[in-house]
Structure formats: structure tokens, C-alpha cells
């Protein structure tokens, strides 16, 4: 067995498609090759994270397993550090060689990617992956929430398992709401967005080109930029909006607040709620990066459920500080799923 970094050539594409059909036969889109190219090879911040890409464990021309190194540059006190989030792990079962063979494939891929330059991280994964990370990585505390604007429709999405088949939808961008001002921006207009991490926090760096690329790839990302205005302040949010039929879901990727005032943030939450209802959004998913986002979501709807979310830091000898030494500011934009269906 050998480990190879997949490229743009036809052999890599065809080999990955064959593996995908065996390992993820029912996974919607299972990340089209075009989305994967953007997500890894053409990622605007890949240059500052050497080695980013999809790696395969090969036997002859066949792929036995894959794992990807997603660009994950982090910033501490104005200093940027290269990094990767290890994602999209998968390995085929071999009845003749037994379960240890699959573990060997996964171990070889993991060891190869951990040795890439920079810091290493991981997020939500399969139960097997979570158990392995718990033994060798440091948990990063985070909160993930679901805010329901229409509990009945949200229940239908859940029980009909529609969340796995939603696609980006066409949105009405000329909106008028009674509670404030709304401006919807798409495509290249996402470039001007700059999130506002609280002072003293450790965050993931996203260049202006990152937001631009996310907006231009809206056919797969569903990303829009929402400017909300009250009588005293403004706020900006990057959302993913997707749907199946008239059942729509939204994910809050990142936020920018011009004011820390609680009353202003609650007013902004009511504007956001009215906007989402005009788009027939029944549920809003969010990584609650700080107290401002939590207050915003509480104003969106009374039906909100929050729970701990899995993020991990994989220590390496070259790390200059430990993950436990910093206060993290994590958002939905950090997840590699921002680029795919």
C-alpha cells in the first residue's frame, strides 16, 4: 500500500468516483469532483497551508481509503499559523483481510496527514473517528444549536430525512420587513465581509478571497450575505440557505456585529427571524461562537436547542502553544461542509 495525493488528472478523478460509489453510494452528491477541487485544490487560503488536498491509500490503481487535509489557518494575537482540519475519512472493508486491514488503511492515512506542515485539527465525524480522536487529541469546547422557526415543518424535514437531499435555492433578494432594514448580497459581493472575533480570542483566518469564492460558488454552497439594520446599529451575517420543495433550512456561517448592546442585538434577531420566515426557512443551524450570537438566536425564536459540539486539536511536537492555552472563537464557516451540499 502507498499514500498518494490526488490531483486533477483523469486517473485521480475516475479512481475517486469508483471509491465514492462503493463507500458513499447513498450520500447525496457525495461531494462532486468540481466541489472537491474548489474545497481543496482551489481553496483561496490553501497557499498558506502547504499540503492541503485529498490523499488516498492505493493498491495498484484502486483506492482503498481516503482522507483530506482541509486548509485551516489560525490567528493568535495577529500572527497567522498554517494548519489543516483532517476530514472526509473513509476506508473500504475487505472480507478476506478482516477489520484490522481497514484500521491499517486509516492509520496510514492519519499518520501521513498529521506530518504535513502546520497545526492539525478535526471536527464532527463517525463514532469510530471520534473514539480515536478522544485518545490522541484535545477537545475544543464549542456549542452547536438548532433554532426552529416552524417546529412542524422542521419535524417533517427530520423524519422524512430531507436534510440529506436539500439544494441551494433561488432567493428573493428584494425584501422588506417591518422590524428593520434588510440587504441581501450574493456572488462576489461576499468579498467585503469581515467577521468580528472578540478581542483576545483565537480564530480561523478567512481571506477576502475566501468569502468571494464562497459566494461565487453559490450553486453548491447556497451562501448569501445578509446586512441587517436597526434604528441604532448594523449587523452582517453569512448564511447558507438550502431547501427541498417549500421546506428550507439555513446555516449561520459567520457574523459581524457593530454593537455589543443587548437590546440592539435582540432587535437584529427579530429582523433575522422575519427575513428567514419570508424565505420559508423552518430551522436555523449555528455554531454559537460567542454570547452575541446566542443572544441573536434567542431573539429569532423561542424554540432553540443547544448542545456541545465536537472540535479537536491534534497536538504535534512543532506546536508553539497548546490548544488549552487560548480562548477559541469558532464559527460555521470553519467546517468544510460550507463548500458542498
In the CATH hierarchy, which fold is given to the domain comprising 2-142+311-319? Aminopeptidase (3.40.630)
Give the model's pLDDT for residue 341.
43
For residue 221, how many other CB atoms are within 10 A of its CB?
25
The backbone torsions φ and ψ at residue 298, rounded to the nearest 5 degrees and listed phi first, read: -65, -30
Place of cell 481571506: 207
Domain chopping of the chain, boundaries? 2-142+311-319, 143-308
Contact 229, 265 (CB under 8 A): no
User: Looking at residue 159, what is its pLDDT?
Assistant: 62
Reported as a single tens digit per residue, the pLDDT across 145-171 is 999 998 888 777 676 566 556 677 777
pTM score of the predicted model:
0.88
Domains 2-142+311-319 and 143-308 are alike in CATH topology: yes
What pLDDT was estimated at residue 30?
A: 45
CB 281 within 8 A of CB 149: yes
70 vs 49: CA distance, rounded Å:
9
DSSP 3-state of 126: coil
Cell of 161: 430525512
Q: Give per-residue pLDDT as tens, 4-18.
A: 998 888 788 788 888
Are the C-beta atoms of 261 and 255 separated by less than 8 Å? Answer: no
Buried b (16+ CB within 10 A) or exposed e, 59-75: eeeebbbbbbbbbbbbb
User: pLDDT truncated to tens, each residue of the chain (341 aa)?
Assistant: 889 998 888 788 788 888 877 877 665 444 567 777 888 888 999 988 999 999 999 888 888 889 899 999 999 888 899 999 998 787 777 766 677 877 888 889 999 999 999 999 988 666 666 666 777 788 898 999 999 998 888 777 676 566 556 677 777 666 677 667 888 998 899 998 989 888 888 999 999 999 999 998 887 788 999 999 888 888 999 999 988 777 889 999 999 998 888 999 999 999 999 999 989 899 999 999 999 999 999 999 999 999 988 789 999 998 888 888 889 999 999 988 777 64
Calpha distance 129→151 (Å, rounded): 32
Domain 143-308: give its CATH architecture: 3-Layer(aba) Sandwich (3.40)
**Residue 123, C-beta contacts closer than 8 angstroms, at least 6 positions apart:** 85, 87, 310, 311, 312, 334, 335
Q: Among residues 221, 257, 264, 267, which one has the least CA distance to residue 240?
A: 221
Query: What is residue 73's three-state secondary structure?
Result: coil
* Residue 95, pLDDT score: 62
Phi and psi, residue 148, nearest 5°: -95, 125
**So what's the pLDDT on residue 340?**
64
Amino acid at each position: 500500500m502507498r499514500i498518494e495525493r490526488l490531483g486533477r488528472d483523469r486517473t485521480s478523478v475516475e479512481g475517486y468516483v469508483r471509491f465514492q460509489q462503493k463507500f458513499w453510494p447513498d450520500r447525496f452528491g457525495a461531494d462532486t469532483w468540481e466541489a472537491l477541487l474548489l474545497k481543496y485544490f482551489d481553496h483561496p487560503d490553501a497557499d498558506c497551508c502547504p499540503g492541503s488536498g485529498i490523499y488516498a491509500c492505493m493498491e495498484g490503481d484502486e483506492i482503498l481509503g481516503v482522507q483530506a487535509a482541509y486548509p485551516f489557518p489560525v490567528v493568535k494575537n495577529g500572527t497567522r499559523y498554517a494548519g489543516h482540519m483532517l476530514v472526509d475519512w473513509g476506508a473500504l472493508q475487505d472480507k478476506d483481510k478482516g477489520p484490522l486491514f481497514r484500521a491499517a488503511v486509516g492509520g496510514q492515512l492519519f499518520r501521513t496527514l498529521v506530518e504535513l506542515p502546520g497545526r492539525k485539527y478535526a471536527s464532527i465525524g463517525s463514532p469510530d473517528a471520534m473514539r480515536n480522536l478522544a485518545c490522541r487529541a484535545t477537545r475544543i469546547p464549542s456549542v452547536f444549536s438548532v433554532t426552529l422557526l416552524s417546529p412542524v415543518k422542521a419535524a417533517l424535514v427530520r423524519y422524512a430525512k430531507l436534510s440529506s437531499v436539500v439544494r441551494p435555492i433561488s432567493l428573493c433578494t428584494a425584501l422588506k420587513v417591518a422590524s428593520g432594514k434588510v440587504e441581501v448580497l450574493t456572488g462576489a459581493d461576499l468579498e467585503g465581509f469581515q467577521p468580528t472575533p472578540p478581542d483576545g480570542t483565537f480564530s480561523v483566518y478567512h481571506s477576502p478571497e475566501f468569502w468571494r469564492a464562497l459566494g461565487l460558488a453559490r450553486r453548491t454552497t447556497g451562501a448569501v450575505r445578509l446586512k441587517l439594520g436597526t434604528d441604532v446599529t448594523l449587523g452582517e451575517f453569512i448564511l447558507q440557505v438550502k431547501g427541498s420543495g417549500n421546506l428550507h433550512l439555513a446555516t449561520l456561517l459567520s457574523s459581524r456585529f457593530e454593537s455589543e448592546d443587548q437590546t440592539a442585538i435582540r432587535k437584529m434577531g427579530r429582523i433575522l427571524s422575519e427575513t428567514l420566515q419570508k424565505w420559508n426557512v423552518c430551522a436555523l443551524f449555528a455554531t454559537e461562537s460567542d454570547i452575541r450570537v446566542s443572544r441573536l438566536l434567542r431573539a429569532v425564536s423561542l424554540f432553540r436547542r443547544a448542545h456541545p459540539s465536537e472540535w479537536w486539536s491534534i497536538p504535534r511536537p512543532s506546536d508553539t502553544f497548546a490548544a488549552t492555552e487560548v480562548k477559541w472563537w469558532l464559527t460555521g464557516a470553519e467546517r468544510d461542509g460550507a463548500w458542498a451540499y
